[in-house]
């Protein structure tokens, strides 16, 4: 027994102790219900994904994932306490039980899935790493960046991707490292580097913060796969299912053309898939410890996936990002969710 304890890694110890702190009276679901709110870890401020306004109200795609879980569990999408976290802080906060779910533009990788004591509950946004440069640099391709100074955020997958890309293409670079995405943007804006690299979604968001956004351009190359999604602690399958299916409800709703505006009318639909989605027929909520209308609350209060994409990062937002890979599988993208059966 002693030998087994000695072999526990630090993340495993954090998970063990954090899980007890967060769930000493039962599951995460019971803890959240007892508190009366969801503790959700988000970015310190990334427009379109998670950022507060001047009154402290949070919005963004990652925020809407949190709101969807709160609607499913508590029947109220606004019962969320947002915990802003840096890339370095995010995993420890979840492991220790400080937050109930992490919804913070985090890439699903083997290492994170297998060694941190955490589970990814699906993909909320398909992304890829890219590069942003000043138009004055006269660069049209990442292959022209040999010898460039590159602003990058520490504690992210972008560091390894950057090293791999430059090594594979026989190029050299000078890393200029910052602790936050905001820091990388400020470094780029002040001329400390020639290039800013991050997930493309972040590049579009960070460009809005530059003193002269129109002077910067995102290069066409995408050098990695970055499936971003929410995480929960391992060992609580019920909570894992709740977060996973809250996201799946929004994706399925778009496919079935159920929106926050027409959902009440859709209750009378004869389509069996819609009836199952709304909890009128099928598995309902008992298997996850939720009310039968849990998915109705998610869609009614937060919207389907297409709605949250459009409002936060799409054409209806300042970012104006095209759906691309994040279009439904039936519309040329790869967005897909398991069925409600």
Residue 23: per-residue pLDDT: 46
The residue written with tokens 């840096």 in the block is 86
Residue 44: per-residue pLDDT: 92
Percent of the chain with pLDDT over 70: 92
Q: Which residues contact 41 (CB under 8 A, 6 or more apart)?
A: 83, 85, 90, 93, 94, 98, 99, 101, 102, 103, 104
Look at residue 341 and tell me if it is in a domain: no
Report whether pLDDT(25) > 80. Answer: no
Report whether pLDDT(323) > 60. Answer: yes
Report whether pLDDT(2) > 60. Answer: no
Q: What CA–CA distance (Å, rounded) separates 149 from 167?
A: 15
Look at residue 1 and tell me if it is in a domain: no
Mean pLDDT across the stretch 1-29?
47
Q: What CA–CA distance (Å, rounded) separates 21 from 38?
A: 15
Look at residue 15 and tell me if it is in a domain: no
Out of 161, 191, 224, a domain closes at: 224
Look at residue 4 and tell me if it is in a domain: no
Instruction: Say whether both 183 and 324 belong to one domain.
Output: no
Q: What CA–CA distance (Å, rounded) separates 173 from 195?
A: 10
Mean pLDDT across the stretch 149-176?
94
Instruction: Say whether both 122 and 137 belong to one domain.
Output: no
Residue 6: per-residue pLDDT: 35
Mean pLDDT across the stretch 289-297?
97
What values do phi and psi take at 88, rounded to 5? -70, -30
Instruction: Say whether both 236 and 318 belong to one domain.
Output: yes
Instruction: Say whether both 236 and 316 belong to one domain.
Output: yes
Out of 224, 247, 275, a domain closes at: 224
Total count of domains within the chain = 2
Look at residue 17 and tell me if it is in a domain: no
Report whether pLDDT(280) > 60. Answer: yes
Query: Using N-to-C axis directions, what is the helix angle for 61-74 and 237-255, rounded to 10°?
Result: 110
Report whether pLDDT(10) > 50. Answer: no
DSSP 8-state code for residue 317: S
* Nearest alpha carbon to residue 215 among 161, 276, 136, 117: 136
Q: Which residues contact 54 (CB under 8 A, 6 or more apart)?
A: none
Out of 224, 245, 260, a domain closes at: 224
pLDDT single digits (tens) 166-218: 999 999 999 999 988 889 999 999 999 999 999 998 899 899 889 999 999 99
Instruction: Say whether both 247 and 277 belong to one domain.
Output: yes
Residue 249: per-residue pLDDT: 98
Mean pLDDT across the stretch 298-309?
98
Look at residue 9 and tell me if it is in a domain: no
Instruction: Say whether both 214 and 308 belong to one domain.
Output: no
Instruction: Say whether both 122 and 138 belong to one domain.
Output: no
Instruction: Say whether both 235 and 280 belong to one domain.
Output: yes
Look at residue 216 and tell me if it is in a domain: yes
Residue 182: per-residue pLDDT: 87
Mean pLDDT across the stretch 282-286?
91
Mean pLDDT across the stretch 64-85?
98
Mean pLDDT across the stretch 287-303?
97
- The range of the structural domain enclosing residue 61 comes to 28-126+227-331
What values do phi and psi take at 96, rounded to 5? -80, -10
Look at residue 21 and tell me if it is in a domain: no
- Model confidence band, residue 26 (pLDDT cutoffs 50, 70, 90): low
Residue 181: per-residue pLDDT: 84
Instruction: Say whether both 120 and 162 belong to one domain.
Output: no
Instruction: Say whether both 211 and 232 belong to one domain.
Output: no
pLDDT single digits (tens) 99-128: 999 999 999 999 999 999 999 999 999 999
Mean pLDDT across the stretch 309-323?
93
Instruction: Say whether both 218 and 245 belong to one domain.
Output: no
pLDDT single digits (tens) 228-267: 999 999 999 999 999 999 999 999 999 999 999 999 999 9
Domain CATH number, residue 284: 3.40.190.10
DSSP E strands, 99-192: 101-102, 118-120, 125-127, 129-134, 148-153, 173-178
Instruction: Say whether both 99 and 146 belong to one domain.
Output: no
């Amino acid at each position: 027994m002693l030998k087994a304890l000695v072999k526990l890694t630090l993340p495993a110890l954090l998970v063990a102790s954090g899980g007890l702190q967060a769930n000493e009276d039962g599951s995460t679901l019971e803890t959240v219900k007892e508190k009366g709110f969801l503790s959700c870890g988000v970015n310190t401020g990334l427009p379109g994904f998670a950022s507060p306004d001047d009154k402290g109200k949070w919005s963004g795609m990652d925020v809407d994932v949190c709101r969807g879980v709160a609607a499913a569990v508590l029947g109220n999408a606004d019962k969320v306490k947002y915990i802003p976290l840096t890339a370095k802080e995010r995993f420890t906060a979840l492991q220790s039980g400080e937050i109930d779910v992490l919804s913070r533009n985090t890439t699903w990788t083997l290492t994170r899935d297998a060694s941190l004591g955490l589970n990814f509950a699906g993909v909320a946004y398909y992304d890829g790493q890219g590069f942003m440069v000043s138009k004055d640099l006269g660069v049209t391709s990442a292959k022209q960046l040999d010898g460039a100074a590159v602003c990058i955020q520490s504690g992210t997958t972008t560091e390894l991707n950057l090293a791999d890309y430059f090594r594979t293409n026989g190029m050299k670079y000078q890393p200029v490292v910052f602790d936050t995405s905001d820091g990388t943007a400020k470094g780029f804006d002040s001329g400390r580097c020639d290039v800013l690299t991050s997930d493309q979604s972040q590049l579009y968001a960070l460009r809005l913060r530059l003193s002269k956004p129109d002077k910067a351009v995102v290069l066409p190359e995408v050098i990695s796969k970055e499936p971003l999604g929410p995480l929960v602690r391992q060992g609580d399958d019920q909570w894992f299912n709740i977060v996973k299916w809250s996201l799946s409800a929004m994706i399925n709703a778009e496919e079935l053309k159920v929106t926050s505006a027409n959902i009440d009318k859709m209750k009378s639909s004869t389509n069996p898939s819609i009836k199952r989605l709304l909890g009128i027929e099928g598995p309902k909520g008992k298997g996850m410890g939720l009310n039968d209308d849990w998915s109705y609350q998610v869609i009614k209060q937060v919207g389907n996936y297409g709605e949250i994409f459009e409002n936060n990062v799409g054409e209806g937002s300042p970012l104006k990002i095209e759906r691309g890979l994040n279009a439904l599988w039936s519309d040329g993208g790869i967005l897909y969710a398991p069925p409600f059966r």
